[in-house]
Chain A
Amino acid sequence: MQNTTHAQVERYLLKLRSALGGLHDAEKAEIISDIRNHIEERLAELGAPDDNAIGQVLTALGGAEALAVEFQRERLIAQAAFTVEPMLLLRATFQWALTAVSGVAAFVLLLFGYSIGLALVVCAALKPIMPQNIGLWVDPPAFTLGYLNPMERHGHELLGWWILPVGYVGGVLLLVATTRLVRWILRLRAANSPSILQIHQGQA
């Protein structure tokens, strides 16, 4: 381990560890030890571990942040299958959508569920402020949820003040249901990798 106490290497590994963000500590430690061992091997190959050799080895690995992005990209879907963070789910399904049609379907489902859920909650919150303009307007076959200008309104408003409980409860339930459904879909995708499930369930 004689070479890796060099300050430049330690800075690189520290930056990498910090950029690995949400990964579990045990996994981060494994990654750092992988990269540290690689640096040691390469430096041993090059002979004297001077600044030039270290610079050469670190350049071949790529920037610490860019390397961390590669690690996270490889692990994004497995992580997202156990998260309740909407942004992580969106990022994971978006990455999946870039590679497969089933990913596009999951991404659209997530966007649809979140949009309607959020719209219901926002409508419930705005109803007391704009009682005449906020509601669920029905003009068959069209439904409009949200704000309508009195001059442009057609049809009739369906929920009245019921939009408060329906919006809050229905909106939150839809957000939770969408999150759980997409997580379940992501777990199905990872189902042929049972160890992913065991590791994350063990750490949950």
Chain B
Amino acid sequence: MYMDMAKETTIATASPADHWEAQLRKGCLELAILGSLWPRPLYGLDILRALRSRGGLEVAEGTLYPILNRLRVDGLVTSEWRDEGTGHPRKYYTLTDAGRLRTQQILQSWDSFTSRMNELLSSVRPEN
């Protein structure tokens, strides 16, 4: 009985809107990571912090590195060790020229998509 109630609570909590938002955030992750590296090279934890503080994205630590690895193999980022006197060297990730170009291309698609969606949904928004 307790188990059933717990299940119902879980199902009620994870609404379709929550699921949709989770999928949306996941889909934006690559652009968010590329965007976080645009101003300057960052190390892994710094990327997670930038995603959290500037993008409101709570990314699981185990999710970041597989994407970073693919971006590196795709030639969009490079990584290098830097010793900044913290007691151990840090691995910094930098956008390559191809990475900058790809970021701009994805951003263009993003802008076009969001502006069309905003237009489509303008009638749904409550009047100000």
User: With A and B bound together, what is the CA distance between A62 and B91 in angstroms?
Assistant: 21
Task: Report B38-91 residues with CB < 8 Å from chain A CB.
Answer: 43-45, 60-63, 65-70, 72-76, 79, 86-91
Judged by a CB distance under 8 angstroms, whether A41 is at the interface is: yes
Judged by a CB distance under 8 angstroms, whether B28 is at the interface is: no
State whether A34 touches B75 (Cβ < 8 A): no
If the complex has contacts A66-B62, A71-B65, are A38 and B72 also in contact, measured as CB distance less than 8 A?
no
B-side contacts of A1, CB under 8 Å:
88
Judged by a CB distance under 8 angstroms, whether B22 is at the interface is: no
Q: Which of B45, B72, B87, B89 contacts A2 (CB 8 A)?
A: B87
Judged by a CB distance under 8 angstroms, whether B98 is at the interface is: yes
A-side contacts of B98, CB under 8 Å:
195
If the complex has contacts A33-B91, A75-B69, are A62 and B62 also in contact, measured as CB distance less than 8 A?
yes
Most buried by A among B45, B76, B86: B45
Q: Which of A30, A38, A60, A199 contacts B69 (CB 8 A)?
A: A30
Specify the chain B residue showing the minimal Cβ separation from A194. B75
Give the size of the chain B interface in residues (CB under 8 angstroms).
26
User: With A and B bound together, what is the CA distance between A33 and B88 in angstroms?
Assistant: 13
Give the size of the chain A interface in residues (CB under 8 angstroms).
33
State whether B65 touches A35 (Cβ < 8 A): yes
User: With A and B bound together, what is the CA distance between A41 and B44 in angstroms?
Assistant: 9
Judged by a CB distance under 8 angstroms, whether A85 is at the interface is: no
State whether A60 touches B73 (Cβ < 8 A): no
Judged by a CB distance under 8 angstroms, whether A132 is at the interface is: no
If the complex has contacts A27-B69, A27-B73, are A70 and B87 also in contact, measured as CB distance less than 8 A?
no
If the complex has contacts A40-B88, A44-B86, A67-B62, are A195 and B75 also in contact, measured as CB distance less than 8 A?
yes
Most buried by A among B62, B67, B75: B62
User: With A and B bound together, what is the CA distance between A199 and B75 in angstroms?
Assistant: 10
Judged by a CB distance under 8 angstroms, whether A115 is at the interface is: no
9 smallest beta-carbon distances between A and B, as pairs: A195-B75, A62-B62, A70-B66, A193-B74, A74-B70, A74-B66, A37-B91, A71-B66, A41-B45
